[in-house]
């Protein structure tokens, strides 16, 4: 059994024609897990599978480009699919109440999300087990509480950086990753904004420090080729862009 990563969206904080914000589908056997659900991701998800057949949704942090499509997803589950309050939605610690407050001015129901999802908050100090898949967490440097994910199946590991500024400890979390899915939201090279995003060169450096086998860049705000080249120069290994619709096997 192997892990597959399907790119639903890998854009920056805004969608573009043909390119949604952040969202990735992890597939293995019967298990299908959605990592983040930014603007445009739900439509892409519907293009490849019935959304109600997901095993779970996991959100890295509450910035709109990572969770905004939970709202149309909620309406679909309630009124378009017939699946009610049974799809697990895992949020960062404290995020359930914050998410409720986001929609409260226009949807005052306290059960807005809980009517459609089985909402819980993951424990960053523990391992989340979904079937044979194990997911561990690492807090990153970002303006809101944000968590990277290490997704393991047997001896294979995929690490998703989520959004982060420069943090050498992330290399330790990603040690030996078969695929390091890393953000590069702060240009091609040079020093990134502290506690915000990585440059592509920094993503490559982290991949090299981690001893990752392969680097996949996401969250690139401009043309992809210069960022891939900058990351590859620092990494010294295979690096590419997480293009919309692409599937990567581990």
Quote the pTM value.
Answer: 0.96
Residue partners of 240: CB distance under 8 A and separation at least 6: 215, 216, 217, 228
Band (249; pLDDT cuts 50, 70, 90): very high
CATH of residue 42's domain is 3.60.15.10
Band (76; pLDDT cuts 50, 70, 90): very high
Taking alpha carbons only, the member of 221, 218, 220 closest to residue 242 is 218
Band (191; pLDDT cuts 50, 70, 90): confident
Question: Tokens 């996991």 correspond to what residue?
Answer: 58
Q: Which two tokens stand for residue 76?
A: 């679909």
- Provide the residue range defining the domain that includes 57: 4-249
Mean pLDDT (whole number) for 62-79 = 96
Taking alpha carbons only, the member of 127, 62, 52, 133 closest to residue 91 is 62
Q: Which sign does the torsion angle of CA 50, 58, 247, 64 carry?
A: positive
Number of separate domains in the chain: 1
Name the strand (E) or helix (H) holding 35.
strand 31-35
Share of residues in the chain with pLDDT > 70 (%): 97
Rounded distance between C-alpha atoms, residue 166 and residue 223, angstroms: 22
- For 122-173, how does the pLDDT look when each residue is reduced to its tens digit (9 = 90+)? 999 999 999 999 999 999 999 999 999 999 999 999 999 999 999 999 999 9
């Amino acid at each position: 059994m192997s892990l597959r990563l399907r790119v639903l969206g890998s854009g920056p904080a805004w969608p573009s024609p043909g390119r949604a914000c952040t969202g990735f589908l992890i597939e293995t056997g019967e298990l299908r897990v959605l990592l983040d659900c930014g603007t445009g991701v739900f439509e892409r998800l519907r293009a490849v599978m019935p959304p109600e057949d997901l095993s779970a949704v996991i959100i890295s942090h509450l910035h709109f480009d990572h969770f905004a499509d939970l709202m149309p997803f909620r309406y679909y589950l309630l009124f378009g699919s017939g699946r009610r309050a049974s799809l697990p939605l895992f949020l960062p610690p404290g995020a359930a109440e914050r998410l409720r407050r986001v929609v409260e001015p226009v949807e005052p129901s306290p059960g807005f999300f809980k009517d459609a999802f089985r909402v819980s908050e993951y424990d960053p100090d523990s391992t989340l087990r979904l079937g044979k898949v194990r997911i561990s967490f690492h807090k990153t440097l970002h303006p809101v509480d944000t968590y990277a994910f290490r997704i393991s199946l047997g001896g294979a590991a995929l690490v998703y950086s989520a959004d982060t500024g420069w943090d050498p400890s992330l290399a330790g979390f990603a040690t030996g990753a078969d695929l390091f899915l890393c953000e590069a939201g702060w240009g091609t090279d040079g020093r990134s904004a502290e506690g915000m995003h990585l440059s592509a060169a920094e993503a490559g450096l982290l991949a090299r420090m981690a001893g990752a086998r392969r680097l996949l860049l996401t969250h690139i705000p401009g043309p992809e080729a210069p960022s891939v080249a900058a990351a590859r120069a620092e990494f010294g290994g295979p690096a590419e862009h997480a293009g919309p619709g692409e599937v990567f096997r581990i």
